[in-house]
Structure 1
Amino acid sequence: MKVLALKVDVDTLRGHREGVLNLLNLFDRLSVKASFFFSMGPDNSGKAIVRIFRKGFISKMLRTKAPSTYGLKTLFYGTLIKAPMIAQSFPGLLKETVVRGHDFGIHAWDHVKWQDGLNKMPVTTIEAELKRAFDLFYQYTGRRPKAFAAPGWQINIDAMMVLDSLGLDYTSNTRGLFPYIPRFGRKLFSTVEIPTTMPTMDEIMGTNGLRGSAMAQHLLGCLKEGLNVFTLHAEMEGLSQIHVFEEFLRGALDQGVRCVPLSFVSKMTRDELPRCQVADGTVEGRAGTLAVQKTD
């Protein structure tokens, strides 16, 4: 059987305000559950301009038509426009996600700060950022998240140690092939890691002419037997590409693919999972390095 685990990353104010509700309504229509990971603090998207020096970043922005995907205003948040607070601006959407029965977890306090500066953060800052995000979610919903997904698949040993101390059900911090118990160097952690196994829409968009329906068909062709973990973004699949995502999702369901949240996968016991190393690596279509599962 093919299983498709759906992971929704919410990076920006616009994605939270508009994309989340669009996705919730789509999932309701198709009777599908997913896992939502929320950025809780300031939207500093404009500060991501420093990535311009990374190989492949400019081409990715052009391929994905970033201004129309994210909204021109978003591209200036934290620079020319004061960074708005994401979750605090629309806390009702956090509650709505919980009420509708979806998985919920934390993506970050400050998405850009984590993605671009994690390796410069002292462990006390990592602890503080995570505490603020988890506490605010609890304040608005009365529920404490039991999962975390790292922005941009950026993770290091300090962050993994902090996350391991939180007693989470699972994390989704890496790219890889199958769920595992992560090692970092000689350190073995206890939290189940569920990596993203499929290419994301922003990684394939515009490559070899892939746009619109062709992207949906390409993603359907990427589905393999067993578990497939697909990361989508509220800013893309929830907004400008929602019809493409719906075509992909309907196509998967028509093929008999079982669509599940990541918590479905995390119910596997630790003893059933292999131990794998986390290392730096690259993924085609994405600029810079990110955390990957090493299987050899």
Structure 2
Amino acid sequence: MVQATVALRVDVDTRRGLEEGAPRLLELFRRRDLRATFFVTMGPDRSGRALRRALRPSFLRKMWRTNPFKLYGLRTLLSGTFLPAPLVGAGLPALLRQIAAEGHELAPHGWDHVGWQDRVHRLGRSAIRDDLESAARAFKAAVGVAPHASAAPGWRTSDAALSVQDALGFRYASDTRGDAPFRPKVADGVLATLQVPTTMPTMDELLGRVPDIPGALLQAVRPGLNVFTLHAEVEGGHLLTAFEAFLDALGRSRVRFARLDDVVDRLRAAADETPIACVVRGSVDGRSGWVAAPGWTRWHAMVAPR
């Protein structure tokens, strides 16, 4: 039987997530001798602007279900509107260096998280390049090395964004939801940058929809590669206890843990033929709006067990 591998991907979207949630997760990982992959938004925390999505029924349903005041806090929900937009990764370089020093993989999660998530499908190549290069410059200034990977905010990307990103020469990217690594195909041809999708539901997608979040996530683990994305604001905050329970369940199941760069190394060493797919828009149960995914994705693999 093929052993299950779980790669823990930590997205840090907000200043509060980096300042408060990330240290809690670092302590948890230190205690359990676990290594994860951290993707950190480098630029301004404009989370308050996400409230413009309130006109969407799906967004309102998510807000009602998840209680954003508990998950994110009032300061985050007002950042970039009634409160100034503090820099996330670029504003806390010492904490980024600590993450890397403790053995975790570290890479950018874009420059302006809300701006990218809301507008990437309308942005031209120049604006896309500005965002990616701003994040890369800030990352190098903070930790002293150029980024080797990237993850698109909100799992949203476009053919233009994929092409611009490909020219930056990252070893891999994690911009999509799906069930297996692949190489994207765009109008200009097949891109070199390997995509490693998030394969599992997230806790905030399950919150208010299933009675036992750790149990539902354990049911979603399958043989082979599983990429679980957690958020420093969520699992490093209100859902920390639930996340610990999930880790306990994974430990009892004897899964193998890995960083995403370790996964990529093994994929390259195996020299297996990497699937190729166009990137399309899809939806995930419990998440508002669209996400990017390979065209052949079996969407039922990404929804919560019922």
Please give the TM-score of this superposition, normalised by the length of structure 2. 0.92
Match of 2:31 among 29, 36, 49: 29
Distance 2:168 2:35 in 1: 25
Distance 2:296 2:240 in 1: 34
Contact 1:180/1:192 (CA < 8 Å) preserved in 2? yes
Q: What are the residue-to-residue correspondences of 1:4-19 with 2, within 5 Å?
A: 4-19=6-21
Distance 1:243 1:111 in 2: 26
Matched, 1:152 2:150: no
User: Once the 2 structures are TM-superposed, how far is the Cα of residue 272 of structure 1 from its aligned partner?
Assistant: 2.6
Contact 2:90/2:139 (CA < 8 Å) preserved in 1? no
Distance 1:65 1:260 in 2: 31
Q: Deviations over 1:110-169 (max 9, x none)?
A: 000000011222211111111111111111111221111111111001111111111111
- Give runs of ≥4 in structure 1 deviating > 2 Å: 184-187, 269-272
User: Once the 2 structures are TM-superposed, how far is the Cα of residue 109 of structure 1 from its aligned partner?
Assistant: 0.4
Q: What corresponds to 2:302 in structure 1?
A: none
The AA in structure 2 aligned to 1:65 is N
Contact 1:185/1:277 (CA < 8 Å) preserved in 2? no
Q: What corresponds to 1:118 in structure 2?
A: 120
Q: What are the residue-to-residue correspondences of 1:56-71 with 2, within 5 Å?
A: 56-71=58-73
Q: What corresponds to 1:104 in structure 2?
A: 106
Match of 1:45 among 44, 47, 53: 47
Contact 2:159/2:279 (CA < 8 Å) preserved in 1? no
Q: What are the residue-to-residue correspondences of 1:243-258 with 2, within 5 Å?
A: 243-258=241-256
Q: What corresponds to 1:174 in structure 2?
A: 176
What is the aligned-residue identity percentage?
A: 42
Q: What corresponds to 1:89 in structure 2?
A: 91
Q: What corresponds to 1:236 in structure 2?
A: 234
SS of the residue aligned with 2:57? coil
Distance 2:171 2:263 in 1: 10
- Greater CA drift, 226-235 or 124-133: 124-133
Contact 1:195/1:229 (CA < 8 Å) preserved in 2? yes
Identify unmatched segments of 5+ residues in structure 1. Answer: none
Distance 2:144 2:174 in 1: 23
User: Once the 2 structures are TM-superposed, how far is the Cα of residue 271 of structure 1 from its aligned partner?
Assistant: 4.9
SS of the residue aligned with 1:140? helix
Q: What corresponds to 1:227 in structure 2?
A: 225
Alignment CA distance shift 1:247-1:65 (3 Å): same
SS of the residue aligned with 1:50? helix
Distance 2:104 2:168 in 1: 21
SS of the residue aligned with 2:74? coil
- Greater CA drift, 37-46 or 248-257: 248-257
Distance 2:80 2:56 in 1: 20
Contact 2:38/2:104 (CA < 8 Å) preserved in 1? yes
Q: What corresponds to 2:300 in structure 1?
A: none
Identify unmatched segments of 5+ residues in structure 2. Answer: 298-306
Q: What corresponds to 1:285 in structure 2?
A: 286
Q: What corresponds to 1:276 in structure 2?
A: 277
Alignment CA distance shift 1:263-1:111 (3 Å): same
Distance 1:224 1:292 in 2: 19
Count of aligned positions = 292
User: Once the 2 structures are TM-superposed, how far is the Cα of residue 175 of structure 1 from its aligned partner?
Assistant: 0.8
Matched, 1:216 2:218: no
